């Protein structure tokens, strides 16, 4: 999610959300489209690996009533507390666990969700995180350089910014932020450190990178640090592998990604797992023994319509892909 329109769970409309300070009822990103692809059935067991404030989860629980069960994971303990409150009405049909979805396999097995009938990942950070300066995700709000989804463990953005070598910082900013001025940014950061706050870092980046309308100069550097702090691509790779493993034939994994590196990883994983042979092209005889596990349901990613983008600008970069276990 990547704009600044605040939104929070809407108590008046179960399964929907409301923009703070506005009257428009507001649903989580690509809500109908994700539900249509997952097609929850009464009695199935589902995993929401990024339960967030519980909007998609509530939709899955409503669609799988009366006996459908949901295992919701979130790396962020505070967000999970909100989901707990939000989903309390579903009682014992919901199990919520504070965990990274990279560990989905073991968590699912230990809570009786193996196999499952569908898995949803709605990647990135919640709007509550963007809007909370204390989390350090926003370059527009003064806060500590934290950026961890799970504040109980791991290195913060400040740790990376203040201890990595210039070359390692440049590599990280280039690889995860696709920032063409990565070397210049890294050089300037090293010259100015220690850096402690989001605004300090954003100002240093803005000395090197020119923004353009709609793109703050620090956007790519902040994205890169967030991805590195949370090992987002590593977690996604492990989460997808676990999801494919947990599904039974006919069941669906759906992923909503918000930037190109994540979306590319989802697309490539689905493509690879939809093929029988993954030997290098030109190899005359197959030696890999790989067998297709997925059928791709979305040739092109599903994206929000103009109406959803107008209602929720944060949805504008969302891409939904889904595949069915065969
Ligand atoms: C975009 S929000 C999900 C919103 C949710 N679909 C809803 O309807 O409210 C993404 C959530 O995923 C969590 N998250 C991000 N990466 C994660 C990971 N690797 N494991 C578990 N949770 C993660 C974030 O803490 C955040 O709460």
Predicted confidence band of residue 15 (pLDDT cuts 50, 70, 90)? very low
Strands 45-48 and 116-122: parallel
Q: What is the residue with the minimal CA distance to atom 3 of ligand 1? A: 52
Can you tell me the mean pLDDT for 137-161? 96
Atom of ligand 1 nearest to the CA of 31: 8
Q: What is the pTM of this model?
A: 0.91
CA of 119 to the centre of ligand 1 (A): 13
User: Taking the CA of residue 132 as centre, how many other CA atoms within 13 Å lie in the half-sphere pointing to its CB?
Assistant: 14
CA of 47 to the centre of ligand 1 (A): 12
CA of 90 to the centre of ligand 1 (A): 20
Report the C-alpha gap between 117 and 113 in whole angstroms. Answer: 9
| pLDDT at residue 217 in the model | 97
CA of 42 to the centre of ligand 1 (A): 25
Q: What is the residue with the minimal CA distance to atom 2 of ligand 1? A: 126
Q: How far is CA 8 from CA 18, 62, 126, in A?
A: 6, 19, 10
Atom of ligand 1 nearest to the CA of 102: 19
| pLDDT at residue 213 in the model | 87
Q: What is the set of domains in the chain, with CATH numbers?
A: 7-128+232-325 (3.40.50.150), 151-229 (1.10.150.170)
Q: What is the residue with the minimal CA distance to atom 24 of ligand 1? A: 125
Q: What is the residue with the minimal CA distance to atom 27 of ligand 1? A: 52
Q: pLDDT per residue over 165-196, tens digit each?
A: 999 999 999 999 999 999 999 999 999 999 99
Largest CA distance in the chain: 63
CA of 184 to the centre of ligand 1 (A): 32
Measure the CA angle with vertex 101, ends 97 and 105; round to 5°. Answer: 85
Residue 3 has pLDDT above 50, yes or no: no
Predicted confidence band of residue 55 (pLDDT cuts 50, 70, 90)? very high
């Amino acid at each position: 999610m990547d704009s600044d329109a605040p939104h929070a769970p809407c108590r008046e409309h179960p399964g929907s959300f409301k923009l703070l300070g506005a009257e428009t009822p507001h649903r989580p990103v690509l809500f109908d489209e994700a539900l249509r692809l997952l097609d929850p059935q009464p009695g199935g067991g589902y995993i929401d690996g990024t339960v967030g404030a519980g909007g998609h989860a509530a939709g899955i629980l409503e669609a799988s009533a009366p006996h459908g069960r949901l295992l919701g994971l979130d790396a962020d303990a505070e967000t999970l507390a909100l989901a707990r409150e939000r989903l309390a009405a579903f009682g014992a049909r919901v199990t919520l666990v504070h965990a990274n979805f990279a560990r989905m396999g073991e968590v699912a097995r230990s809570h009786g969700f193996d196999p499952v009938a569908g898995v949803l990942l709605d990647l990135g950070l919640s709007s509550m995180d963007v809007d909370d300066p204390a989390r350090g995700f926003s370059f527009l709000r003064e806060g500590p350089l934290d950026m961890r989804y799970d504040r109980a463990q791991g290195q913060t953005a400040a740790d990376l910014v203040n201890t990595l070598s210039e070359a390692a910082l440049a590599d990280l900013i280039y690889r995860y932020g696709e920032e063409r001025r990565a070397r210049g940014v890294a050089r300037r950061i090293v010259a100015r450190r220690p850096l402690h706050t989001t605004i300090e870092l954003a100002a240093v980046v803005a000395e090197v990178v020119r923004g353009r309308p709609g793109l703050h100069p620090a956007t790519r550097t902040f994205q890169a640090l967030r991805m590195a702090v949370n090992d987002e691509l590593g977690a996604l790779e492990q989460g997808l592998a676990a999801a494919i493993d947990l599904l039974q034939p006919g069941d669906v994994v759906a992923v909503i990604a918000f930037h190109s590196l994540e979306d590319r990883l989802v697309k490539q994983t689905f493509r690879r797992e939809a093929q029988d042979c993954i030997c290098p092209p030109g190899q005359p005889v197959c030696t890999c023994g790989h067998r297709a596990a997925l059928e791709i349901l979305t040739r092109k990613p599903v994206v929000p319509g103009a109406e959803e983008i107008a209602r929720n600008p944060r949805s504008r970069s969302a891409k939904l892909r889904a595949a069915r276990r065969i």
